[in-house]
Structure formats: structure tokens, C-alpha cells
Structure 1
Amino acid sequence: MRLLNIVLAHAAIFGIAALAATSCRVNYPTTAFRCSPGGDDPNCPTQDSDEYLCCSDDPAAIQLSNINAVVTPKYVGRDGVGTPLFSGGNNALSTHGMCVKAGSVPIAGALADTNATGCPVPCNPNWDQDDREDVCGTGAICCQTVELEPEDCVLDPGLGNMGCYRPITGRDIAGLGGLDSTMWGGTEHKTHQDPAGANCMTFVAGATAALPDGVDGADLLQACYRRLGVADSRGFCLGGDNVDLCPLEVAGYRDACEQLNDMSGRVDCD
């Protein structure tokens, strides 16, 4: 139900035809707006003359000249530094996205990148204001597209007084310097990008030739894995009149990890 609620909220914001999910002509699931750009069947509406794009919402990026740097993605005509891993020109490598009606995103707020032209601009809700403005533009906000699920959370003993649950990241994959708490398998979590890392491997295969001396494909692959994330790190840039609050920023909202902290009585976690 958490997924359905946020999808419907974003459907209203982006002007996506919500009736497509319950159309009498086609039998789409209630979460028809979610799609997988890299999947065999994006499951986007195709009825009548409407065209829908399966748009990645993951802005993860790597600067090939400095693979350890934390950078924002460089999209056509926008500030930013790194090569997008799962969006823009690499939209087809993402396992998470949204079906967006072609032409529904204003040109000023849409990507111009090959493979993602007309899609909303992906962003990370955790970015600071400078990073957000570099990618989204001045005055825009970044809204998370899907809610976290409890399976996306990991207990971090270094947080709070007795450990706190937080969203898991690729850095927590065994051997990558984090908590060594996951293998990032297909069913280990609910909203994780690129389960098992196959699309990171595809990215590396196409980018190895651009690496500087002393950096090889294995280094780049680990860097890609470290940038994998769950729902809290994915969103779309929004701007314009009457757009000043994201659906998951309403007063009193608690995400799945925060709820786990609440239920187990953990303190100093916020």
C-alpha cells in the first residue's frame, strides 16, 4: 500500500493518466506507473495514441577520472560532473523507473539525453541544496518517488545510543568497506537498484577504455556497486507553481526505517 500511495501522488504531480491502471481496455496492475527501463517488459500503458516513456529515477553517477569522488550526474544542458550510471544515456541500465506520458514534462524540466529525452530529471532527495540546484535548477525541489520498505533497512551499530536502522546502500555489500550485511541479491531487499549487480557489469564493459592509468575494470565495478541504493536515494526534480512540498515530507511522516527504530525503542536516531 505504501508503494501505491506514493505512485498515485506522483501521478497527480506529473500529470500521468491515473486511469490507465484501472482501464477497462487493458488490465494493468495498480502500480502500473512503476516500471523497469532495463527490463524485458516495462509494463507502461500503450492504449489509444498515447505514448509512455519508462524513465529511470536513479541519479547515481561516477566521475571516470576520479571514481572515488561523490558526484552529481552530468545531464545534457545541466550542471553536474559524473557519468550517470542508470539514467540519462544509461536509462536502459536501471531496474527502477516510472511510466511518464510523453510530452507531459515541460521542456525546461525534462532530460534532453539520448535514451531518456522527455523524461523528468532524476535526483537524490538526500542531496544538499547546491547539488540539487546544479541538477534540478534554482527553485526546484527533489521528491522521492517510492517509499522505503522494511527490507530496505539495516541496523547500523554506529548510530544513536544502541544502533539505528537506516536505508541500506551498496557500501554495505560484503567486502566493500561498509557493514558487510548484504550480498545485494534479487530478493534480499525490496527497492534496491540493480539486484545482483548485472547492470553495473554492463556499465563497466562499456566504460573501461575511458579509465585513467592505474584504474582497471575491477576498481570501476566496485565503485559502481558502492553507488547502488534503495528508494530513499531516488527521485525526480519538480518545479513550478504550487510545487513546494514532496508527498513524503508531510508533517508526521515516518519512513520504514524510522518506524523500525520507533518500534524497537531506539533513541537519538533522527
Structure 2
Amino acid sequence: MNYSFSRIAAISTLVFSLSGCFDIADIPKLHTSWKVAGAASENSEQAGFITDSVTTCPAFIDNSTITSDELPAEFSIADWNIYKQEDDNWRRELTALIEENDLIVLQEAKLSFLLTQLMQQHQLSWTQVEAFSVYNQSMGVLTASSVAPISVCKQTITEPWLRFPKSSLISYYPWAGSDASLLVANMHMINFTLGVDEFTQQLEGVIAVIREHDGPVIMAGDFNTWTNKRLDQLHLMTTSVELQKSVYQQDVRRTAFGNPLDDIYYRGMQQLNASSYETDASDHNPIVARFGPLF
């Protein structure tokens, strides 16, 4: 309870103190450090940058675009809600995650100079869906890797109370463990609702894309599963596309009302290990997991 109330208070304070400094685009923007082969521009719809579209996501998957760069057969992923880099030590914590993992999946990432500098120093390809911006700094989910994705697409939904967009980013990576590309869904699920209608709507958009993908999948993020109904709905829909829930050797994930908020689901691979650990650099604790091919 304290976690949810503190979140509401923090967001409300931010809204009132920075009113007039916010920018929420009619169509949420997508920022990226990379270009898809054949794309007219970095933010071209023809490059697979799709807004709220299931039937055309992805619009730009072509195995001929795959280069020699691919994720290794055994790879590791870090999933972390970085809380807009508001807390101390976030840079030290994120640097360690980048150095030790092949994929970085962040929620509430602020596209600040320090963050972009850190990713440049480690030569990462990254993509961010801008939920909103404050003082011209983009906020939203961000996925990064030393390997460039083949394609990405984005989906968004608006919080009914706070009116902030919540976003999902779907990226496709070449992976040495499979002939098919690896789909990585980075999700920051809708939070403050009385029921589960909007939660289900956001989840259905990503599940529909996963259902159309004939290959391995990772779905990770901050699912805001602070009610049993949300957890039940998440379990029902992940099971429908044969996603397995990660098993954690050490589990200190952030909870609300006794339920864990962050998680990693997977399909078409084997989990080698997974753990979460405590940090003072955010109000969420990071999850790290390692996967390998089935055979």
C-alpha cells in the first residue's frame, strides 16, 4: 500500500510542480540510435515504427537484413524500472548491468545527456518510446543492446486518470540460438485503474503480436500487477501464447500489496538462471536472467 500511495503522491507532485513543462505528443514519438536498412529516415513508418497497430507489427521484417552481428547462443538480459534516474547511484548500477548483460530493458527511462552518453560509451544500439517529455527530456520504455535490432514497433495506451501514455516496445533481434528472430517485448503496464479493462487492452496488443511470431520470445517489464485480478489476467494471456514465467533463484522483486510488479516471460528457449537483487538506485530492484537455445 505504501508503495502505491507514494507513487501516486510523487506523480501528482510532479504534475503540479512541472505543469506547463510537459509535452505529450498526439502520436507518441520513437527515438532510436539506429536505422533499418532501406528506411527513408530514422522515424519512418516504413521502417517498422508502427503506432498502435497489431496487423502491421512488424512492418519491416526481412531476414536478408540480418548482418553478422547477432545475440550469442547464450545471452543475458537485465530488466529494470530505472525511476527516471531520480535516485542516486543509477549510473553506477546501470553501468554494471550494461557490462554484464547482452540486452537491457528499461522502464521510466529519461533520455538525458548522461544516459545517452553512457550508451554511446558502451556502443549500444537503443530504441525508446516517448510516453511524454519534461523540459524536452523524453521519458518512456527503452531497449538497448550491442546488437542492432532488425525492426521495432510501438504500442501505447493512455492512463484513464493521469492521462499519461503507457507504452510497449517490441524489438526483433537476430539470435545465434534460432533461425527465427528473437522478439523482445518491453512493457510498462497501465497502473491506476479500478478494474482490468485498460490493463487487458494494453496486454492484448502485445500478445496479438507474439501470437503472430513463429519464433522465440521474451516479454519483460514493469507489469504493475498489484492486484490478484491483474496477475490472473497476465497469467491467462501469457499462457495462451505458451509463455513461461521465469523462476528466480533469488527473488527480491519490488512488491505492492504482496504481489511482484516486475517479471520476465519467455518462449522457445531455456532459462539457465534468473535472479533479482536489491539496489538503492531506484524504487524497483533489477532482474537479471540468462537464456540459451532449447537444443
> Is TM > 0.5 for Structure 1 vs Structure 2?
no
Q: Which has the higher strand share?
A: 2
Instruction: Using structure 1 for the length normalisation, give the TM-score.
Output: 0.30
Q: Which has the higher helix share?
A: 1
Instruction: Using structure 2 for the length normalisation, give the TM-score.
Output: 0.28
